[in-house]
Amino acid sequence: MNLLFARFRPRTTARGPLLGALALGLALTAGCAPPDEPRSLPTPAGSSPNAGHTAAAADTRERLRVDGGTREYLLHRPGADGGAPRPLVIAYHGRGSSAEGMREMTGLGTAAAARDMLIAYPEGLHSGWGAGAAATGRRPDPDADVRFTEALVEELVRTEGADPLRVYVVGFSNGGSMALRMAAQRPGLLAGAAAVAGQLPTGPAAVEPTGAVPVLMIHGAEDPVRPLAGLPSPGPAAAGEEPITPSMASRAGAEAFAAEGGARAPVERSEAGYDRTVWGPGDSRATVELLVVHGAGHTWPGSSVTPPAGFGRTSTSLDATGTILGFFAARRR
């Protein structure tokens, strides 16, 4: 299934009309937007998905030289610098979206302010991420985004007082798979990782965990784009697009992280609107959690941004943003 470039739009209220499309739609781990569509949209004033969201006022567009080129990211500073090192969250957008799209869909800036967290929203090349380990026509260097992330962390530790012992990654869809790749291949860099609607790649682009790291995976039970059971044999991509990367089932990915980290046997329990499976920490203290959200599609639970047609419903039973930041706040290297 090739999907599909669409725009998110905020839900309207009785008090006012739609203020405009907020961000780009999100696609498969290795899909991409049609070439005739714009790659990003301006963020309209006052069109935040979360009530009281004011993250944009504190955000700046930054550039970083990496591998002889320039990469960009959006940086959210939570407020006045008190001098103490701050936790850092790297937030990867989905394919076809943007840093602004990730900010608006998740509301991470607002939620992180109370925890005094820095949030960096990097921009992917061709509006996506090299989440798999294999080269493609558009991504001849499959490790470029790994090096970009490493350089970004180094830069923000040096210039913004980020705490190197409290660095976390999170992402949605293709960005979620990128977060899992960082957790798998650079566990020593991170204090935790989270993915919403992202899975570990398999096949020629396979990524396997190489060390202990706390991981939280959130996946919709009815995801029509990247199914909960994985996508072992995706169909061909459209002409000119990157090949669709096969991926393993979400539970299999969680089990791989748990096994590498020496976690305990899983404990399962049902909660209101979702099922939680926890592989408790062993000697490495690396907890792994999988939350399967009932009735949810290829969406960010708790977001008030309307997903594109074909992505399924957004659950309100779980606040993914708050859950993820709470998971991060309890952990450090």
Who's near 85: CB < 8 A, 6+ residues apart?
161, 162, 163, 164, 165, 166
- Which CA distances in Å does 190 have to 84, 150, 168, 289? 19, 10, 6, 16
Q: How far is CA 318 from the centre of its chain?
A: 16
Q: What is the pLDDT of residue 83?
A: 81
Q: What is the pLDDT of residue 240?
A: 76
Q: What is the pLDDT of residue 12?
A: 34
The CA-based diameter of the chain, rounded to the nearest angstrom, is 54
| pLDDT mean values, one per 10 residues, the chain (333 residues) | 35 34 36 30 33 54 97 92 90 96 97 94 96 92 98 98 98 98 98 98 96 98 97 84 90 98 97 98 94 98 96 98 97 94
Q: What is the pLDDT of residue 210?
A: 98
Q: What is the pLDDT of residue 106?
A: 98
Q: What is the pLDDT of residue 123?
A: 98
Question: Are 186 and 145 a contacting pair, CB within 8 Å?
Answer: no
Q: What is the pLDDT of residue 155?
A: 98
Q: What is the pLDDT of residue 31?
A: 35
- Which CA distances in Å does 50 have to 92, 99, 192, 303, 330? 19, 17, 25, 7, 24
Rounded Cα gap, residues 305 and 213, in angstroms = 31
Q: Which of 20, 112, 114 is nearest to 75 (CA)?
A: 112
Specify the residue for token string 């069109």.
47
Two tokens, residue 26? 């999100």
Q: How far apart are the first and last CA of the chain?
A: 39
Question: Are 197 and 314 a contacting pair, CB within 8 Å?
Answer: no
Two tokens, residue 158? 């040096």
Q: What is the CA radius of gyration of the chain?
A: 18
Burial degree of 193 (CB within 10 A; 0-12, 13-18, 19+)? buried
For domain 7-329, is the CATH number 3.40.50.1820?
yes
Two tokens, residue 310? 């074909």
Q: Residue 212 — φ and ψ, nearest 5°? A: -80, 130
DSSP 8-state symbol, 200: -
Q: Is the dihedral of CA 75, 80, 85, 89 positive or negative?
A: negative
**Predicted TM-score of the model (pTM):** 0.85
Who's near 271: CB < 8 A, 6+ residues apart?
none
Rounded Cα gap, residues 86 and 233, in angstroms = 42
Rounded Cα gap, residues 82 and 314, in angstroms = 37
Q: Which of 243, 133, 120 is nearest to 185 (CA)?
A: 133
Q: What is the pLDDT of residue 43?
A: 33
Q: What is the pLDDT of residue 56?
A: 43
